[in-house]
Amino acid sequence: GRALLVLLLSATVSLLGGLIFGYELGIISGALLQLQTDFHLSCFKQEVLVSAVLIGALLASLAGGILIDRHGRRRAILVSNLVLLVGSLILTLARSFIVLVIGRMTVGFAISVSSMACCIYVSEMVAAHQRGLLVSLYEAGITVGILLSYALNYIFADVDDGWRYMFGLAIAPTIMQFLSILFLPVNPVKLSSWDSDCQKGLIPLQDTEDKAAPKREPYQEKHYSFLDLFRTRDNMRRRTLVGLGLVLFQQFTGQPNVLGYASKIFHSVGFQSNSSAILASVGLGAIKVVATLVAMALADKAGRRVLLLAGCVVMAVSVTIIGLSSRMAPLAMARDCKAATDPNASHSLTQDPPTPVFPQSPLSPVPPASGAVQSQASPGFAATRGLTKVFASTQSKEVVPNSSLAQKRDLVGQSKKGALESTGPPLGAAPWTQHTVLNWITLLSMMAFVSAFSIGFGPMTWLVLSEIYPAGIRGRAFAFCNSFNWAANLLISLSFLDLIDAIGFSWMFLLYGLMGVMAVIFIYLFVPETKGQSLEEIDQQFSRKR
């Protein structure tokens, strides 16, 4: 009975941790529509507000590892829950822009610590044959959290101070996770009675055939310094190479940017009504959920290495197809935050065609992609689309299709403020609408890319990272790799349009395809299979010089 309880509570902690992470990443896109009008935010201020989460998360990546290793995984999750509650209350009660930024930084710090501690804690808590399923459950939680944030963005769009409810509702899953983990034991690796608990079957750490292992060779936890990550002791340097390689290739295969084209591709194949905004975001979100569930089911059967290789091959092929088809049917690109409320605000990244500004209209034009509508509520709003992408993919970990969310904001803004017909050029005049077959190929390739990422790199990177390091340094090692993940994500997202200006859209995606091929080679040569092995066995496997 207790073994089942531990299993269910571990699953709950993993799922709720991911749900909170995904929710906090997705909710800002809808909240910004109201915040921008309530606080009169310029382009630059919107970018600062969105990037505040990243700053908090980077700080957590640097400091969180020490917290996780020195004070335990369980305590780290409890602390992150309390910090998240404080951050959510600050956001809910905020009366100024500065307080909003502080609240988002606090939330960013909390979800970053929680994400690292959850993956490590759950991987140590459950049996070897269940570890892949339960750690991947975190990834599934992220995708569900993002979809939930879309729904609440839509529900509270017309409510006065709706953004306060959006931020405040994060308190509910946070309290649920806090209460769930109170009933779970302390970090199992540090329990002196752990072996006897295993033998009694109270906590299913290992398979039956593995239960004799602790008797034969008691697992001695070693102590490591941070610099040991770069030394040959216990083959730590190779483990660091595997961890950094996975997080960097996860980003350099173009994952933060491919979904930026979601709305444009949906429109190019004929979904030209306002409802296509919801179709693009929720539809792709649903694909991610289904693909992540497939990864959960296969992680402990097919294995991590197989899923990583298969996912990488499909990603490389699909992104190459997008690059080749775009050579024949180019998609327009533009930066459209230059016409923001603050003329000196830094330009931002967005994937919408340029829109003419009409001097006779007091309203700021909205890209006609969402059904040729202008909204009073949207001047300068596109500023945040690119930067919001930065967070959406972190820790993956996940990508929020924010360009399509921008369309939904336009749709919401239309219902809130009243819409005017645009006198802009008809969408059908765009050159890429004449290549229907190629556009459908591009759309299907993008769906394949999303699915492959959610089966391979999405969940498996974090599962492998939670397994390959010794317990004594696992938190710091995970945090070290995680900081590179955030930094690479930011670099890829912010350099995207500059690179397209320099080498062109199709060459950019062909370059992503090449990186995908390199990722396949890297995984084949360096990433071992860890399915069905206890964490101690994985540690011993890595410790042997090879």
**CA–CA gap between residue 72 and residue 304 (Å, rounded):** 26
- Using DSSP, state whether 334 is helix, strand or coil: strand
**CA–CA gap between residue 444 and residue 439 (Å, rounded):** 9
pLDDT tens track for 114-145: 999 998 888 888 888 888 888 888 988 998 99
Per CATH, 1-184 and 228-333+433-545 having the same topology is answered yes
Task: Record the pTM.
Answer: 0.71
Q: Which helix (H) or strand (E) holds 419?
A: strand 419-421
pLDDT average, residue stretch 467-484: 88
**CA–CA gap between residue 487 and residue 390 (Å, rounded):** 10
DSSP 42-80: -HHHHHHHHHHHHHHHHHHHHHHHHHHHHH-HHHHHHHH
pLDDT band at 275 (very low <50, low <70, confident <90, very high): low
Which pLDDT score is estimated for 171? 95
pLDDT average, residue stretch 159-170: 92
Which pLDDT score is estimated for 420? 36
pLDDT average, residue stretch 487-499: 77
CATH of domain 228-333+433-545: 1.20.1250.20
pLDDT average, residue stretch 165-182: 94
Domain ranges of the chain: 1-184, 228-333+433-545
Which pLDDT score is estimated for 270? 63
> Quick check: 262 pLDDT over 70?
no
Contact yes or no for 120/475 (Cβ under 8 A): yes
Degrees to nearest 5, angle at CA 483 with 152 and 49: 40
Class of 1-184 per CATH?
Answer: mainly alpha
pLDDT average, residue stretch 312-316: 96
When mean pLDDT is compared across 112-126, 365-379, 402-416, the lowest value belongs to 365-379
CA dihedral 30→457→299→296, nearest 10 degrees, is: 10
Please identify which residue in the block is written with the tokens 């084949």.
524
pLDDT band at 338 (very low <50, low <70, confident <90, very high): very low
Degrees to nearest 5, angle at CA 228 with 226 and 229: 80
Percent of the chain with pLDDT over 70: 69
Burial 248-271 (b: 16+ CB within 10 A, else e): bbbbbbbbbbbbbbbbbbbbbbeb
Number of residues that this document lists for the chain: 546
Please identify which residue in the block is written with the tokens 């944030």.
149
CA-based nearest residue to 509, from 251, 319, 350:
319
Percent of the chain with pLDDT over 90: 25
pLDDT tens track for 228-249: 777 777 778 889 999 999 999 9
pLDDT tens track for 431-469: 545 667 887 888 888 889 989 999 999 899 989 998 888
Burial 453-468 (b: 16+ CB within 10 A, else e): bbbbbbbbbbbbbbbb
